[in-house]
Structure 1
Amino acid sequence: MTLLQLRVLLAVAEHGGFTAAGTALGMSQPAVSRAVSALESELDTVLLRRGRDGVALTDAGARAATHAREALRQVDLLRTEVAAVSGRVTGTLRLASLPSATGTLIAARLRGFAERYPLVTVRLLEGSDEEIRDWLDQGVVDAGVVTLPAPGLHLELLDSHEMVAVLPAGHALGAGDTVTYQALAAEPFIRSSCGCARVFEGVAREVGVRLDPAFEARELSAVLEMVGAGLGVSIVPAVALRTVPAETIVRPLVPRTVRTLGVAAAAGASPAARAFLEEVARTRKVVVPVSADAGRAPLAAPVDAARPV
């Protein structure tokens, strides 16, 4: 059994085929196939199921992939820890981010991180809050952006920002300076599944209403397009709205709703992951206290309806 065979197995599983895995690894398709066959022969079991829809892991293959991922992580950790003794941070940083945070909060940190640690290769994945927590637990990523509170995780505070109501242009609810949860609950609601829903749905429960989604979309851009088309209303993080689409209007929520994000590191974090958390801490301008009620700001907090989002 070789490290190359383990890398090939993971690449085939990730890309869903031998040819795509070969392209990613810089290997020919026959070489990829031979590596998998040799590994299956050594383990005396079938690891991959070939079908018309592509290639997928068998149950045995899924278990093998978990151990292969951990074995490769330990090898990478060995290299980076030894390099760190001499003051060099090397290796690969596997970082997961929420789509709404990548461009606005993570990109600038990655630019600074790359300048300070040019020997580190960064691999960025995007997923929902639940996916990122699973990836951290499984060791798929070294660090990830998560919504707070996140008990049991070693993390650095990233940002705290308001959630806002997004309405179709000309909607009656836009006549006021703010929008209540009760008013939104009476409208067709468009829910984003990327992870921010857990924040505003918690506040909705506290005020005694339910936001039943008429539509659901993973990407924020799709949510905004549906709102702009008049299909319903939504709640999104203000930090993700670099510009407000012409077909929509934005209003602060009542009660005021705040999402707090942190960058968490997986157990046994690599030097690269620890260095990135240090970069997040170094670049943080304002430290926001994090409590068990991090998803909700005091109701008496002022709301500036003219504040750009």
Structure 2
Amino acid sequence: MQLSQLRVLLAVAESGGFTAAAERTGMSQPHVSRSIAALETELGAPLLVRRRDGVTLTEAGHRAVSRARETVRHFDLIRPDVAGAGGQVTGPLRLASLPSTTGTLIAERLRTFSDRYPLVNVRLLEGYSPEIRRWLENGAAEIGVVILPEPGMHTVQLGTDAMVALLPRGHALAAAETVAVRELARDPFILTTGGCRPVILEGVRQAGAALDIAYEAGELSAIIAMVEAGLGVSIVPTLGLPADLGEVVTRPLDAAIRRNLALALPSLDRCTPAARAFLDHVLV
């Protein structure tokens, strides 16, 4: 059994297929397939169920991936830990971010961090809250941006993000200084499937309103386009909103609905030197 085989197994498990794993590892697809087949032969059990639309892990595969992730993680920490003893911070840093926070809260901090720690190899992943939580738990990312609360994680708050009403420019409420959540709830509502969904639903509940959810969408751009098309209204975070909203306007809400954003690590004691350095860099 070779370390390279374990890395291939993790790449296949995380990407869900041989082709995507080949792109991630820089190997050919046949090489990835042969590596997995050789590992299955050596372990004496099938690790993957091969399907036309990708692969899934068998029970043996889940166990193998768990051990492989732990083994690769400890191997990858040898060099950074030794370098850290000499005062250097090096090694990989996989940072997960929400799409709306990458450009607004993370990009500049990442630039100054890379200037300060040029030996750290940063890989940025983008996803929504459930994905980021899963990446942190399974070791696919060392540190990530989350929406509080995030129980079981060590978190450091980055800031708060106000939610606003999103309306077609010709809507009756578009000229109002503030929009009452109760009034907004009278229209067909387009609800995000992203991480701020629970924040919106709780804020609406506290305002004593009930939404008429007509559509759901994950991408902010899709929600904006649907509101512009007159399909409904929405509530969205201000971070990540484009400067030009076309025929859509935002208005403050009469009830303060905010999402609290934080950096999260599974454990402060067991985090990599690079992750700890990034956390300290943000706190400065």
Q: TM-score normalised to the size of structure 2? A: 0.93
8 Å CA contact 1:113–1:279 kept in 2: the answer is: yes
Q: How many Å separate the matches in 1 of 2:244 and 2:23?
A: 39
Q: Which residue of 2 aligns with 1:14?
A: 14
Counterparts of 1:279 and 1:240, CA distance in 2: 23
The CA deviation at 1:226 is 0.8
Tell me the percent identity.
56
Work out whether residues 179 and 252 of structure 2, in 8 Å CA contact, stay in contact via their aligned partners in 1.
Answer: yes
Partner of 1:157 in structure 2?
A: 157
2:261 matched to 1:249?
no
1:91 paired with 2:81, answer no
Structure 1 counterpart of 2:213: 213
Cα displacement (A) at 1:56: 2.9
The answer for the alignment partner of 1:201 in structure 2 is 201
Shift of 1:253: 0.6
The 8 Å contact of residues 157 and 281 in structure 1, kept in 2 or not, is answered as no
- Report which stretch shifted further, 11-20 or 240-249: 11-20
- 1:212-252 CA-to-partner distances (Å, cap 9, x unmatched) read 42111111111111111111111111122241412101100
Which residue of the partner structure matches residue 140 of structure 1? 140
Deviation of 1:77 after TM superposition, in Å, equals 2.0
Aligned equivalents of 1:15 and 1:151: distance in 2? 26
- The CA deviation at 1:121 is 1.4
Match for residue 236 of structure 1?
A: 236
Partner of 1:24: 24
CA distance in 2, matches of 1:257, 1:115: 36
Q: Which amino acid aligns with 1:271?
A: P
What amino acid does structure 2 have at the position aligned with 1:272? A
Pick aligned residue for 1:276 from 260, 275, 278: 278
- Name the SS of the counterpart of 2:239 in structure 1: helix
Q: For 1:128 and 1:28, locate their aligned partners in 2 and report how far apart those are by CA, in whole Å.
A: 30
Q: How far apart are 1:117 and its partner, in Å?
A: 1.1
Judge which range, 23-32 or 65-74, deviates more: 23-32
Distance in 2, matches of 1:30 and 1:210, equals 53
Show the 5 A alignment for 1:39-58: 39-58=39-58
User: Residue 186 of structure 2 contacts residue 212 of structure 2 at CA under 8 Å; is this kept in 1?
Assistant: no
Q: Which residue of 2 aligns with 1:77?
A: 77
Tell me whether 109-118 or 6-15 shows the greater mean CA deviation. 6-15
CA–CA separation in structure 2 for the residues paired with 1:237 and 1:46? 45
Secondary structure of 1:275's match?
Answer: helix
The answer to whether the Cα contact below 8 Å between 1:188 and 1:213 also exists between their aligned partners in 2 is: yes
Q: Please, what TM-score do these two structures have when normalized by structure 1?
A: 0.86
**24-33 vs 180-189, which moves further:** 24-33
SS in 1 for 2:251: strand
- Distance change in 2, residues 1:22/1:134 (3 Å): closer
* Displacement after TM superposition at 1:22 (Å): 2.9
Is the CA contact 1:99–1:194 (under 8 Å) kept in the aligned structure 2? no
Q: Which residue of 1 aligns with 2:113?
A: 113
Please, which runs of 5 or more residues in structure 1 have no aligned partner? 283-309
Q: Per the alignment, in what secondary structure is the counterpart of residue 225 of structure 1?
A: helix
Tell me the CA shift for residue 120 of structure 1.
Answer: 1.2
Name the CA shift for 1:209/1:15 in 2 (closer, same or farther; >3 Å): same
Task: Name the counterpart of 1:68.
Answer: 68
- Cα distance in 2, alignment partners of residues 41 and 113 from structure 1: 44
One-letter amino acid matched to 2:275: A
**Alignment coverage as a number of residue pairs:** 282
